[in-house]
Structure 1
Amino acid sequence: MKIKKIAEVLDAQVVCGEKFIDNEVVCAFASDLMSDVLTLESEQLVLITGLTNMQTVRTAEMADINCIVFVRGKKVTPEMIDVASENNTVLIECKYSMFKTISMLHEAGLCPVY
């Protein structure tokens, strides 16, 4: 699924990495525990989280995740945008709960990691 379709399905706002929205993701993982994210071995992954801090962006960088969807109406900080820009990471803000976000993306055809 293209990242731009993720944003469309969720009626969400891309706040960083607009030039990468034509990139594909194969699966999704949802968590607020960044230690769980570090256990993943999957490429072309979108991370869905409500944790809006630098730890999230740094964890995505370490795990080679290039797209993060922030749920529950959480807003990213300018510092997060700066780091994400340096790493070509797409940041998306979504108004829905994590549960609804996951269900909408699954219904649209996005698969879970496991």
Structure 2
Amino acid sequence: MKLSEIKELIKAEVLCNEEMLSMETTCAFGSDLMSDVLAFSCRDTILITGLTNIQTIRTAEMLDIKCIIFVRNKRPDESIVELAKEKGMCLLATRHTMFTTCGILYSNGLKGVDME
């Protein structure tokens, strides 16, 4: 699924790196616990979270995550957005809750990460 399709499905705003919307992704992982995010590995994953701090960007960087979706109308401050720009990450923000965001994407064919 392309990031542009995800953006439309969840009515998201692009916070940075809009040129990445043509990128494809195969799965998503939703969590507000960065330790849980670190416990998985999947290529082409997007991260769905409500955490807007620097640890979110650093965690995504370690796992080579190229897109983070912030839920519940959360917006990172400008320093976080700038770091994501530098690291080549697309940031999206949606008013939907994490549950609704995950549900919309899952029902449209985006797979979740298996923790096996």
* TM above 0.5: yes
Matched, 1:12 2:12: yes
SS at match of 2:42: coil
Compute the displacement of 1:87 (Å).
1.0
Deviation of 1:17 (Å) = 1.1
How far 1:40 moved relative to its partner?
Answer: 1.4
The C-alpha deviation readout for 1:40-84, integer Å capped at 9, x for no partner, is 111100000001111101110011100000000001211111110
- Could you tell me the percent identity over the aligned residues? 46
Letter of the structure 2 residue corresponding to residue 10 of structure 1: I
Matches of 1:108 and 1:17, distance apart in 2: 24
- Aligned residue number for residue 24 of structure 1: 24
2:67 is matched with: 67
Q: Does 1:39 align with 2:43?
A: no
**Could you say what secondary structure the match of 2:23 adopts?**
coil
TM-score by length of 1: 0.97
CA RMSD of aligned residues (A): 0.7
The superposition leaves residues 78-103 of structure 1 with CA deviations (integer Å, 9 ceiling, x where unpaired) of: 11111101111000001001110000
**How many residues of Structure 1 are paired with residues of Structure 2 in the alignment?**
114
Structure 1 stretches of 4+ moved >6 Å: none
**2:87 aligned partner:** 87
SS across alignment from 2:92: strand
Consecutive unaligned residues of structure 2, counting only runs of 5 or more, are: none
Read off the aligned partner of 2:15 and give its amino acid letter. Answer: V
Give the SS at the match of 1:91: strand
How far apart are the structure 2 equivalents of 1:10 and 1:110?
13
Counterpart of 2:24 in 1: which secondary structure?
coil
TM-score (norm 2): 0.96
